[in-house]
Amino acid sequence: MTEIKRIGFIGLGVMGHAIADNLLTAGYELYVYNRTASKADDLVAKGAHYLATPRQIAEASELIITMVGYPTDVTAVYFNEASGIFSGISSGKIVIDMTTSTPTLAKEIATQATTLGVLALDAPVSGGDIGAKNRTLTIMAGGDQLAFERVAPIFSLIAKKAQYFGPAGSGQHVKMANQIGIAGTMTALSELLVYAQAAGLSLSAVLETLSAGGANTWSLDNYGPRILKADYSPGFFVKHFIKDLKIALDEAQKMNLTLPATQGALALYETLADKGYQDAGTQSLIKLWWGE
């Protein structure tokens, strides 16, 4: 099989922009699209090509990666009859949706891709803005195993771990498990800091000590220091985390599962959003206790 040289990237948010930048730096011919075109300006200055629609991205690229906000955005990007990816793609190409979306939508994309002779992966990621910038993401993939094998060299440029899990939708299910885990670590981080402050302890010393013991988590290591600096910029948006937790709970319900801890985390984040923090980072959960 020929080596992939032309990559299309759709969705230049906090994480998508960093991934696209790393692919450009790695030497790929990069075609980009974003609803707010100005977010691509620095990539274009480095040599990327900006195109006006997802359809044009699909026409120009051998591999098309999408990383947008919500399942509705994914549907529009792929299925719009006039400007969507599937309106302009040709057989033999590969599509990868890295958006955290629904397993059902991942299966719909795979079905349409098969009809068109295209390989498809649902490959959401974990690692936040830091992982995207430092090329240390974790990729959870479902869909065509051949596609996974073909893009493995590309995944190795943006992630420290990429794992194939099975048929279409499998990657999204793993990401839901990940988000369930993150929900627990973020509520735990917030509450341990609230407790430590009320007890009159040095918060920096508490974080340093706990990071060496059984309470250590990725959230504690990466978001704890941000909280102490009052840095609530989004490595991952509150509004997107709410979306993810709703998907996870919906999928759990379909499997006749009750997840009370995740339900509690969702309720806390919805309260946080109601207070105006929907566009802040998930670490802003501490604001429910500390306020302004």
Among candidate residues 110, 141, 175, 125, the one with its CA nearest the CA of residue 11: 125
Task: Say what the pLDDT of residue 65 is.
Answer: 98
Phi and psi of 116, rounded to 5°?
A: -95, 0
- Residues above pLDDT 90, as percent of the chain: 97
Q: Can you list the positions of beta strands (E) in the chain?
A: 6-10, 29-33, 49-50, 63-66, 94-97, 119-122, 125-126, 137-143, 159-164
**pLDDT, tens digit (0-9, with 9 covering 90-100), for 252-266:** 999 999 999 999 999
Please determine, for residue 99, whether its predicted confidence score (pLDDT) is greater than 90: yes
Task: Say what the pLDDT of residue 291 is.
Answer: 83
Please determine, for residue 292, whether its predicted confidence score (pLDDT) is greater than 70: no
Q: Catalytic site residue 275?
A: no
**pLDDT, tens digit (0-9, with 9 covering 90-100), for 181-218:** 999 999 999 999 999 999 999 999 999 999 999 999 99
**Mean per-residue pLDDT for 151-180?**
98
Task: Say what the pLDDT of residue 1 is.
Answer: 57
Task: Say what the pLDDT of residue 145 is.
Answer: 98
Task: Say what the pLDDT of residue 284 is.
Answer: 98
Please determine, for residue 19, whether its predicted confidence score (pLDDT) is greater than 60: yes
Residue 103 and residue 145: Cα distance in Å, rounded?
Answer: 17
What tokens appear for 92 in the block?
């033999």
Please determine, for residue 75, whether its predicted confidence score (pLDDT) is greater than 70: yes
Kindly state the DSSP code that residue 65 receives in the 8-state scheme: E
Please determine, for residue 235, whether its predicted confidence score (pLDDT) is greater than 80: yes
Catalytic pick among 93, 107, 133, 175 = 175
Domains of the chain with CATH codes = 6-168 (3.40.50.720), 173-290 (1.10.1040.10)
Please determine, for residue 105, whether its predicted confidence score (pLDDT) is greater than 90: yes
pTM: 0.94
- Residues above pLDDT 70, as percent of the chain: 99
What tokens appear for 116 in the block?
């068109």
